[in-house]
């Protein structure tokens, strides 16, 4: 069974079409990147897939569960790390994880929190209030909060936005370690990040998917030398 099956998914805001009847399949364990310039429809697509906004038409199945017909079951299977870190600022790192584990009613909560603190190198700052953490640690916590729920599908919306090079590379290592274990949909404006991390990439513009393939095949298809050039080729407006 594919992890995600998107069928003619469309979202309109009055007359503006944000996502224009897209269809594709994402395999279980795949790291799939959604790329596009601002306003291409990436975030709207993720919002629909995570039941944060209702599609105008079409549907998507997450491990067989419809985002329209069965949103609460879908929400048990997914987790999201939004563009902003979305952490509770006055709570400590550990309290944030305990809180999310409580909301998702995670079993063996204590041992799982300890495990994820170690895995994401957050144990040193576990008793620190999150508003005092550096941007890199806040991003890492945001992903840890998404992972503690043991999701089958993880949405990472620009996870390395605003991070310095070292913090970004450290976060790449975290994301790479998840590959094959859970299905990840990543949105990013860093081409290098998409090229390095993704199994497959979809490039969107004006709410449509212009190409879906591996980064290497996308470079070949555009006859470009770099992935960034290939992206520019496919991200141009479709007339």
The residues of the shown chain that bind another protein, judged by CB under 8 A, are 47, 50-54, 72, 75-76, 78-91, 95, 99-100, 102-105, 129, 145-146, 149
Shortest Cβ 126–another protein spacing (Å): 16
Give residues with Cβ within 8 angstroms of 49, minimum separation 6: 4, 6, 60, 62, 67, 78, 153, 155, 185
Q: Which is nearer to another protein, 141 or 219 (CB)?
A: 141
Shortest Cβ 99–another protein spacing (Å): 5
Shortest Cβ 84–another protein spacing (Å): 4
Q: Which is nearer to another protein, 87 or 218 (CB)?
A: 87
Q: Are strands 4-13 and 153-157 parallel, antiparallel or unpaired?
A: unpaired
Q: Which is nearer to another protein, 141 or 212 (CB)?
A: 141
Instruction: List the one residue out of 153, 154, 164, 213 whose CA is nearest residue 190.
Output: 164
- What b/e string do you get for 91-118 counting C-beta neighbours within 10 Å, with b at 16 or more? ebbbbbbbebbeebebeebeebbeebbe
Shortest Cβ 85–another protein spacing (Å): 8
Q: What is the DSSP string of 157-184?
A: ESTTTT--HHHHHHHHHHHHHHBTTBEE
Q: Which is nearer to another protein, 54 or 115 (CB)?
A: 54
Q: Which is nearer to another protein, 146 or 235 (CB)?
A: 146
Strand order in the sheet with 65-66: 16-26, 4-13, 57-62, 65-66
Shortest Cβ 100–another protein spacing (Å): 8
First vs last C-alpha separation in the chain: 36
Per the structure block, which two tokens stand in for 60?
């998507």
Q: Which is nearer to another protein, 24 or 99 (CB)?
A: 99
CB 68 within 8 A of CB 221: no
Shortest Cβ 115–another protein spacing (Å): 20
Residues in the chain: 239
């Amino acid at each position: 069974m594919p992890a995600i099956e998107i069928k003619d998914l469309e979202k309109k805001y009055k007359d503006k079409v944000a996502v224009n009847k897209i269809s594709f399949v994402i395999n279980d364990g795949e790291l799939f990147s959604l790329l596009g310039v601002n306003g291409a429809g990436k975030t709207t697509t993720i919002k629909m897939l995570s039941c944060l906004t209702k599609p105008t038409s079409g549907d998507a199945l997450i491990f067989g569960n419809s985002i329209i017909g069965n949103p609460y079951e879908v929400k048990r299977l997914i987790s999201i790390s939004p563009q902003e870190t979305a952490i509770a600022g006055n709570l400590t790192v550990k309290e944030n994880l305990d809180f999310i584990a409580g909301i998702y009613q995670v079993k063996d909560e204590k041992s799982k929190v300890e495990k994820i603190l170690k895995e994401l190198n957050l144990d040193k700052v576990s008793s620190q209030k999150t508003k005092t953490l550096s941007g890199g640690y806040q991003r890492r916590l945001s992903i840890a909060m998404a992972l503690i729920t043991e999701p089958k599908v993880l949405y990472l919306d620009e996870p390395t936005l605003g991070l310095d090079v070292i913090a970004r590379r450290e976060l790449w290592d975290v994301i790479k370690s998840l590959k094959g274990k859970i299905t990840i949909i990543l949105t990013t404006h860093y081409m290098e990040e998409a090229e390095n991390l993704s199994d497959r990439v979809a490039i969107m513009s004006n709410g449509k998917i212009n190409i879906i393939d591996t980064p290497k095949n996308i470079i070949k298809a555009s006859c470009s030398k770099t992935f960034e050039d290939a992206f520019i080729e496919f991200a141009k407006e479709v007339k």
